[in-house]
Chains A and B, each alone.
Chain A
Amino acid sequence: MSRNLYLIVAFFICFCISTKAQTDSINWLDEVQLSDVKLKNNSEGQFVKELSDSVIKQSEPLLTSVLKFNSPFFFRENGYGMVSSASVRGTGAAQTAVIWNGININSQFTGQTDFNTINTAVFDNISLKPGGGSVVYGSGAIGGTIHLNNEFSFDGGQSNELRFGLGSFATYQTSYKGDYSNEKTNLKIGVSGISSENDYPYLDVGEKNENGDFYNLALNASVAHWLGDSNILKFYSNYYQGERGFSGTLNLPSNSKYEDFNSRNLLEWKSFLGNFTSSLKLAWISEKFKYFENRDSENFSFGNAETAIIKYDLAYDFSDNKTINLIVDYNGVIGDGTGIENAERQIGGFSLLWSDEIQDFNYQLSLRQEITENYDSPLLFSAGATYNFSKNYSIRFNSSRNFRIPTFNDLFWLEGGNTNLDPETSIQAELGNTLILSDFKINLAAYFMDIEDLIRWTPDDSGVWRPQNTSKVQNYGLEAFVTWSKVLAGNELNLSANYAFTKAINQENQNQLIYTPLHKATLSAGYEVKNFSIHVQSLYNGKIYTSSDNNYELDPYQLANLRVGYVFTSDPEIILRVGADNIFNENYQSLPSRIMPGRSYNSTLTINF
Chain B
Amino acid sequence: MKFKHSLLFLLALLFLNSCDDDNDCCLPAGPGDEFETGVFVLNEGNFGSANSSVSYIDELVQVNQPAIFSNVNGSSLGDTAQSIEMHEDIAIIVVNVSNKIEIVNRYTFESLATISSNLSNPRYAEVIGDNIYVSNWGDGMNPGDDFISVFKLSDYSFNQSIPVAEGPEKMIELNDDLYVAHIGGFSFNNIVSHIETETNSVTNEIEVGDRPNSMVIQGNDIWVLSSGKPSYADEETAGVLSRIDAGTDEVVADFQFPENSIHPENLNIAGGSAYLTIEKSLYKYDFNGELPDTPEYSFDEVSVLYGFEINDSKIYIASPRADFTGDGDLYIYDLNDGSLLDNYAVGINPNGVYFN
Q: Contact residues of A with B, CB < 8 Å?
A: 249-253, 293-294, 297, 299-301, 413-417, 456, 458-459, 461-465, 514, 546-552, 592-594
A459 touches B322 (CB 8 A): yes
Distance in angstroms between the alpha carbons of A300 and B49 in the assembled complex: 24
Do most interface residues of chain A lie in helix, strand or loop, or is the interface mixed?
loop
How far apart sit A313 and B68, CA to CA, in the bound complex (Å)? 65
Beyond the given pairs A293-B140, A462-B231, A592-B48, 14 more chain A to chain B contacts, judged by CB atoms under 8 angstroms and listed by A's residue number, are A252-B48, A293-B141, A294-B141, A297-B142, A299-B141, A413-B232, A459-B2, A463-B2, A463-B305, A464-B231, A465-B2, A552-B51, A552-B325, A592-B46
State in angstroms the CA–CA spacing of A297 and B141 once bound together: 10
- A464, B230: Cβ atoms closer than 8 Å: yes
Task: Give the complex CA separation of A252 and B44 in angstroms.
Answer: 14
| Choice from B51, B304, B326 contacting A548 with Cβ under 8 Å | B326
Interface residues of B in 318-356 (CB under 8 A from A): 321-327, 348
**Which among A250, A464, A548 is the interface contact of B321 at CB below 8 angstroms?**
A548
Are B99 and A253 within 8 A (Cβ)?
A: yes
Pick 26 A–B contacts, CB within 8 A, sort by A.
A249-B49, A249-B50, A250-B50, A251-B78, A252-B48, A252-B79, A294-B139, A297-B139, A300-B141, A413-B232, A414-B232, A415-B230, A458-B322, A459-B304, A459-B322, A462-B263, A465-B2, A546-B49, A547-B321, A548-B321, A549-B325, A551-B326, A552-B326, A592-B46, A593-B49, A593-B50
Q: Of residues B2, B48, B265, B322, which shows the largest number of chain A Cβ atoms within 10 Å of its Cβ?
A: B48
Residues of B within 8 Å of A549, CB to CB, are: 321, 325-327
Question: Are A249 and B79 in contact, with the CB atoms below 8 A?
Answer: yes
A593 to B2, CA, bound (A): 20
**Who on chain A is nearest to B3 by CB?**
A463
CB contact between B325 and one of A413, A459, A462, A514 (< 8 Å): that residue: A514
Question: B147 → chain A, closest Cβ, in Å?
Answer: 15
- Bound state CA distance, A85 and B185, in angstroms? 30
B2 to chain A, nearest CB (A): 6
User: Any chain A CB within 8 A of the CB of B76?
Assistant: yes
Residues on A with C-beta less than 8 A from B325 are 514, 546-549, 552
For residue B72, give the distance in angstroms from its CB to the closest CB of chain A.
Answer: 18
> Contacts A293-B140, A461-B279, A464-B230: A593 and B326 contacting too (C-beta < 8 A)?
no
CB-CB < 8 A to A417: which residues of B? 232
Residues of B within 8 A of A592 (CB): 46, 48-49, 51
CA separation between A458 and B305, bound complex, in Å? 13
Collect the chain A residues with CB atoms within 8 Å of residue B49's CB: 249, 546, 592-593
A551 near B50: Cβ-Cβ < 8 Å: no
Q: How far, in whole Å, are A575 and B141 apart by their CA atoms in the complex?
A: 50
A256, chain B: closest CB distance, angstroms: 10
Q: How far is the CA of A252 from the CA of B348 in the complex (A)?
A: 17
Question: Does B4 sit at the interface, judged by CB under 8 A?
Answer: yes
Using Cβ atoms and an 8 Å threshold, which residues of chain A touch B51? Answer: 552, 592-593
**What B residues does A550 contact at CB under 8 A?**
326
Assess whether B192 is interfacial by the CB under 8 Å rule.
Answer: no
CA A301 – CA B51 in complex, angstroms?
28
* Residues in B neighbouring A463, C-beta threshold 8 A: 2-4, 230, 263, 265, 304-305
- Could you say which residues of chain A place their CB within 8 Å of the CB of B268? none
B46 to chain A, nearest CB (A): 7
B residues less than 8 Å from A456 (CB atoms): 323
Q: Which of A252, A413, A461, A462 contacts B97 (CB 8 A)?
A: A252
Task: Please name all residues of chain B whose beta carbon is closer than 8 Å to the beta carbon of A414 when the two chains form the complex.
Answer: 232
Interface positions of B from 3 to 51, Cβ below 8 Å from A = 3-4, 46, 48-51
Nearest CB of B to A475, in Å: 18
On chain B, the residues within 8 Å of A552 by CB distance are 51, 325-326, 348
User: Do residues B76 and A548 form an inter-chain contact, with CB atoms below 8 A?
Assistant: no
Q: Closest chain A residue to B281 by CB distance?
A: A461
B152 in the interface, Cβ–Cβ < 8 Å? Answer: no
A458 to B50, CA, bound (A): 21
Name the distance in Å between A165's Cβ and chain B's nearest Cβ: 31
Give bound CA distance, A294 to B263, whole Å. 32
Q: Is B321 a contact of A252 with CB atoms below 8 Å?
A: no
B161: interface (CB < 8 Å): no
B280 at the interface (CB under 8 A from A): yes
Which B residues touch A300, using CB under 8 A?
A: 141
Question: Is B135 close to A, CB under 8 A?
Answer: no
Complex-state Cα separation, A497 to B322, whole angstroms:
39
B242 located at the interface, meaning its Cβ lies under 8 Å from any Cβ of chain A in the complex: no
Shortest C-beta distance, A560 to chain B (Å), equals 27
Residue in B79, B141, B232, B279 whose beta carbon sits within 8 Å of that of A416 in the complex: B232
Sort A-B residue pairs by CB-CB distance and give the 8 closest, nearest first: A547-B326, A251-B50, A549-B326, A461-B279, A547-B325, A592-B49, A415-B232, A299-B141
Smallest CB separation, A93 vs chain B (Å): 15
| CB-defined contacts of A249 to chain B, threshold 8 Å | 48-50, 79
What is the bound-complex CA distance between A160 and B100, given in angstroms?
Answer: 55
CA distance A462 to B306 in the complex (A): 10
B193 at the A interface (CB under 8 A): no
Return B139 CB to nearest CB of chain A, in Å: 5
**Cβ of B98 under 8 Å from chain A:** yes
CB neighbours of A461 from chain B (8 A): 279-280
Contact A458 B140 (CB under 8 A): no
Q: How far is the CB of A294 from chain B (nearest CB, A)?
A: 5
CA distance A415 to B184 in the complex (A): 15
The answer to whether A251 touches B232, judged by C-beta atoms less than 8 angstroms apart, is no
Contact A252 B98 (CB under 8 A): yes
Q: Contact between B279 and A462 (Cβ–Cβ < 8 Å)?
A: yes
Closest B residue, CB atoms, query A291: B141
Chain B residues near A252: list those with CB within 8 A.
48, 50, 79, 97-98
| 0/1 interface trace, chain B 100-111, chain A, CB 8 Å (1 if under) | 000000000000
- Chain A residues contacting B76 (CB-CB under 8 Å) are 251
Of all chain B residues, the one with the shortest Cβ separation from A464 is: B230
Contact with A along B215-232 (1 / 0, CB 8 A): 000000000000000111
Minimum CB–CB distance from A299 to chain B (whole Å) comes to 4
In the complex, what distance in Å separates the CA atom of A583 from the CA atom of B265?
Answer: 54
Complex alpha-carbon distance, A594 and B140, angstroms:
23
Report Cα–Cα, A594/B4, bound state, in Å. 27
CB distance from A465 to the nearest CB of B (A): 6
Q: Which of B119-139 contact A (CB under 8 A)?
A: 139
Q: How far is the CB of A445 from chain B (nearest CB, A)?
A: 30
B78 partner residues in chain A, CB cutoff 8 A = 251
Q: Which of B230-264 contact A (CB under 8 A)?
A: 230-232, 263
B98-A251 in contact (CB<8A): yes
